[in-house]
């Protein structure tokens, strides 16, 4: 079966750095997405990786290793507004997104 | 730009009743999707449509039907609601032109079936 694994919850301190990991086993691979979802709101797109390596976008970076079935989202200079759930999703061979359950990130002052 | 709108925002429905969740996008996206989101689970695809006039089944299609009469609208119908259909429903759309093909989400409909 297809599976996306992420930690359920993480806690970090304002101003610090946090890394959210995602491992996947899917039938085929056509890219990996990270979305941010604040409580009670819709998911919003953060990043996309299809080739191995690091993609940097401001305070957020996303890394992909296809051979290891592994990605991480790195958030730097954490702000209180970064408190949200972070969703990892893989586009499979049918071009459909398979979603992880999300990682709830709690930022403490 | 409105993007994607969904209606209603929330609804309480008696079991056995039917209901249609509405979704409209103004981005001229080719593909549209319906997901449900339940606590502790990832988003699960119910139905999708790659272009007007075509639809397909996702991971959890039972008890739901969709239609895609035009590019903008993609309603989701529950013919006879059951309590297990209590969930938050998200509509999404994407251009489906290859590459990143990012999905953009509507604000969601919170449905409670009693």
- Judged by CB atoms closer than 8 Å, whether chains meet at B41 and A101 is answered as yes
Pairs of residues, one from chain A and one from chain B, whose beta carbons lie less than 8 Å apart? 40
- φ and ψ of A72, to 5 deg: -140, 155
Ranking A17-31, A48-62, B96-110 by mean pLDDT, the lowest is: B96-110
- Judged by CB atoms closer than 8 Å, whether chains meet at A43 and B107 is answered as no
**pLDDT tens-digit profile of A40-85?**
999 999 999 999 999 999 999 999 999 999 999 999 999 999 999 9
Nearest partner of A24 among A66, A72, A69, judged by Cα? A69
Q: Which of A42, A97, A102 sits opposite B107 (nearest CB)?
A: A42
Interface test with A, best of B4, B43, B60, B98 (most A CBs within 10 A): B43
* Smallest Cα distance from B38 to chain A, Å: 9
What average pLDDT score do residues A75-100 get? 95
Q: Which residues contact B65 (CB under 8 A, 6 or more apart)?
A: B47, B76, B77, B79
What average pLDDT score do residues B16-26 get? 97
Q: Which residues contact B62 (CB under 8 A, 6 or more apart)?
A: none
pLDDT value at residue B45: 96
* Smallest Cα distance from B56 to chain A, Å: 11
- Judged by CB atoms closer than 8 Å, whether chains meet at B42 and A98 is answered as yes
CB B50 within 8 A of CB B58: no
CA A16 to chain centre: 17
Asked whether residue B68 carries a pLDDT value surpassing 90, the answer given is: yes
Q: How confident is the model at residue A1 (pLDDT cuts 50, 70, 90)?
A: confident
**pLDDT tens-digit profile of B23-67?**
999 999 999 999 999 998 989 999 999 999 999 999 999 999 999
Q: How confident is the model at residue B101 (pLDDT cuts 50, 70, 90)?
A: confident
Q: How confident is the model at residue B6 (pLDDT cuts 50, 70, 90)?
A: very high
Residues above pLDDT 90, as percent of chain A? 94
- The helix/strand/coil state of B85 is helix
- Judged by CB atoms closer than 8 Å, whether chains meet at A42 and B40 is answered as no
CB A105 within 8 A of CB A61: no
pLDDT value at residue B98: 64
């Amino acid at each position: 079966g297809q599976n996306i694994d992420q930690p359920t919850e993480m806690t970090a301190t304002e101003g610090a750095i946090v890394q959210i990991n995602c491992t996947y086993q899917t039938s085929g691979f056509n890219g990996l997405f990270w979305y941010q979802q604040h409580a009670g709101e819709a998911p919003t797109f953060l990043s996309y990786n299809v080739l191995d390596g690091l993609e940097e976008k401001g305070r957020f970076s996303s890394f992909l290793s296809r051979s290891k079935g592994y990605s991480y989202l790195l958030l730097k200079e954490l702000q209180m507004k970064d408190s949200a759930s972070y969703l990892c999703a893989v586009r499979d061979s049918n071009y459909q997104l398979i979603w992880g359950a999300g990682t709830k990130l709690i930022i403490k002052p | 730009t409105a993007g994607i709108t969904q209606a209603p925002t929330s609804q309480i429905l008696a079991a056995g009743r039917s209901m249609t969740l509405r979704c409209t996008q103004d981005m001229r996206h080719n593909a549209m999707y319906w997901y449900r989101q339940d606590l502790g689970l990832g988003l699960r695809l119910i139905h999708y449509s790659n272009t007007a006039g075509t639809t397909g089944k996702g991971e959890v299609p039972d008890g739901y039907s969709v239609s895609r009469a035009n590019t903008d609208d993609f309603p989701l119908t529950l013919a006879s609601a059951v309590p297990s259909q209590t969930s938050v429903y998200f509509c999404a759309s994407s251009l489906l032109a290859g590459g990143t093909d990012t999905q953009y989400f509507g604000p969601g409909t919170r449905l409670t079936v009693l």
